[in-house]
A and B are shown apart, each in its own frame.
Chain A
Amino acid sequence: MTHFLIRRIFWAIFLFLVATIITYLIFWVIPTNPAQLAAGHAASPEFLASIKHRLHLDKPIYIQYFYFLQNLVIHGSLGRSFLNQQSVDSIIGKDAPVTASLVFGGAVLWLSLSVPIGIISALRPRSVTDRLTMTFVLIGISAHPVWIGLILSFVFGYKLHITPIAGYCNFIPGTAGAQCEGPVQWAYHMILPWITFMILFAALYVRLIRANVIETMSEDYVRTARAKGASQRRVMIHHVLRNSLLPVVTILGMDLGLALGGAIFTETVFNLPGLGNQVIRAYGANDLPIITGVVVFSTCCVIVFNLIVDVTYGFLDPRIRMS
């Protein structure tokens, strides 16, 4: 166990270094001038130099990276935005729950949709149901989330007045300046983003679950169960499902860690103040500290989710648990 933990921690540190170094390298390769952005369009060379100095942009990129590490390790801080001097820690602290509520809410929806559909189409391959769901899968995979989001907003928000068009409300009431708050308003504003997110992933999961269920149904132990006289229902629930959902847990863990990618589009379309939205704007403004901060955070997410997957996997699969 100790050995496992130590290996894990080294792996995490390695991942973290690779991810942040790549971020810095990309930033270094792209010729940008964040000091200019911070200084305004008509800054004198002297003033520009003073801004560069303050932001450490006058130093070589590896020194900047060193400052970043130093700041993180010694002060536990991710620094401040080039653009508006806000603390990156507090930006991430505020935005991460929004992204999390999008990702987890979406995951609950897409799982509760794709598990039954995947099973139904696996039980009746090539049937009408199967073909219909595969069409749905194809549309889901092909459609861009921005397009899905806009169509949903237009139909349900603008035309039918069932949902808000866009916007976000805090789950926990009490934030100053909030126009709407509380769990109910939160969920009400999250319906369309969740559905968008769901469509994006449900397609992949239906396909994955269908393939896994079909594969598991031809396993020898399923034949054994049927030879024991088990009913179709019992075979599905006790022998097929758990085994065929095992790989889904792995994929789900990875997807949740990496969901930021999908969240970017959904968040921008629905104006959710999450990490995806933040990083897109930071990218536009060459705001390295925010970009690096989000990279660090999502790297940690990936690492943590991988760990959670491993632990869950051990719980679900005795073969892993024992070894």
Chain B
Amino acid sequence: MPALKVTDLNTSFRTDDGVVRAVSGVSFELDQGQTLGVVGESGSGKSVTFLSVMGLLDPRQAQITGSVQLEGEELLGASNARLRQLRGRKIGMIFQDPMTSLNPVKSIGWQLEEAVLIHHDVSRKDARQRAVEILKQVEIPRAEQRIDDYPHQFSGGMRQRVMIAMALINNPEILIADEPTTALDVTTQAQILRLMKDLQSEYRMAIVMITHDLGVVAELANDVIVMYGGKVVEQSNVDDLFAKPEMPYTWGLLGSLPRLNSTSARLEQIPGQPPSLLNPPSGCPFHPRCEFVMNICRQELPALEASVQGEGHRFRCHLDDEARTRIWNQKRAALGAEETAA
């Protein structure tokens, strides 16, 4: 049984201007101990997907349909009380900005203890002991002393460690990390990623790594979902995706990936703006920005079809196999030439 199974998830928001379809028809599975990378630009629906999974969206504004199963238990439609039991216990979540994600007027010890006390009937003393322990595990130096400090006394990287500690303090099955390194500097990013890797092997939890950075995915993930305009546009295991991406948007993402051995100062960027979710483009959501756009792209949404490589690799594109192979080979050659020139 997969740790998390999401089927045909749709999330829409009622706003004053109309209905925003933030997530449409998202399906995926996550097995125990595995890591799923979720890639996309801001507004692609990747965060909303997992806020929907967590039940953290305001039910008065968000409408969610489909199915979310945690170890076989359906979460959509579950009672608030049940959801509260699962949140923080079975699923931990950490967020993008560690500067604002901790309550500024409570000590980090208090916040960690709270996470324990919500789910376990233990004394505050025991909770504190557990908090010190987990702080040590996320490599906070002098954890016993620093536990009484307040968030503003920690650096960004340290705060993200605290967030991770808080998410893992109850040994969850799944950790959802929503762009955990975006707000951090490069060295700190690397440390945090290494820490997550280490902790995963120790705690054996599944991780969902939401990111816009394919480099992070390459380092951590087993499987990848690429999201665009609220839809899954490509889905694959990580090796296949990097070996032969099938979708022009994924090509764009790979083009914008920095390479350590490249002297090219500018990264290749995908021209244009992400689509409006309020008035989504007709047909394929990527067509206004796609350099290979055809008439059919403007009219029909391509189905999420399996590639020639097999069922595990699915994507949405109207280009035929031959065209995609030709274009990808050209792209790869251009990227490779750049590397060689360096």
Contacts and interface: CB of A to CB of B under 8 A. Distances in A.
Instruction: Answer whether A and B touch in the complex at a CB cut-off of 8 Å.
Output: yes
Interface string B105-121: 11100000011001100
B87 interface: yes
Contacts of A238: 103, 106, 114
B95 A242 contact: no
Given A220-B100, A224-B163, A318-B150, A243 B88 contact: no
B330 interface: no
B89 interface: yes
A322 B150 contact: yes
Contacts of B152: 318-319, 322
A227 B104 contact: no
Given A228-B166, A234-B118, A317-B105, A220 B97 contact: yes
Interface string B8-38: 0000000000000000000000000000000
B54 interface: yes
B216 interface: no
Contacts, number: 77
A300 interface: no
Nearest to A232: B80
A317 B54 CA distance: 30
Contacts of A234: 118
A316 B106 CA distance: 10
Interface residues of B, number: 30
Contacts of B100: 219-221
B102 A229 contact: no
Given A229-B118, A230-B84, A318-B152, A224 B102 contact: yes
Among A224, A227, A229, A238, max chain B CB count under 10 A is at A227
Contacts of A242: 105
A231 B101 CA distance: 17
B153 A322 contact: yes
Interface string A310-322: 0000001111001
Contact of B88 (A219, A227, A239, A317): A227
Which range holds the interface residue count of chain A? 20 to 34
A52 to B, nearest CB: 59
Interface of A: 219-221, 223-231, 234, 238-239, 242-243, 246, 316-319, 322
Nearest to B51: A223
Interface string B241-285: 000000000000000000000000000000000000000000000
Interface string B33-46: 00000000000000
B103 A319 contact: no
B71 to A, nearest CB: 17
A121 to B, nearest CB: 15
Contacts of B102: 221, 224
A246 B106 CA distance: 13
A42 B56 CA distance: 81
24 contacts: A220-B97, A220-B101, A221-B103, A223-B95, A223-B101, A226-B87, A227-B88, A227-B93, A227-B95, A228-B87, A228-B115, A228-B118, A229-B84, A229-B87, A229-B115, A230-B84, A230-B88, A230-B114, A234-B118, A239-B106, A243-B105, A318-B152, A319-B150, A322-B150
A225 B102 CA distance: 9
A227 B84 contact: no
B95 A229 contact: no
Most buried by B among A242, A317, A318: A318
Give the interface centre of A229, A231, A318, A322 by most chain B CB atoms within 10 Å: A229
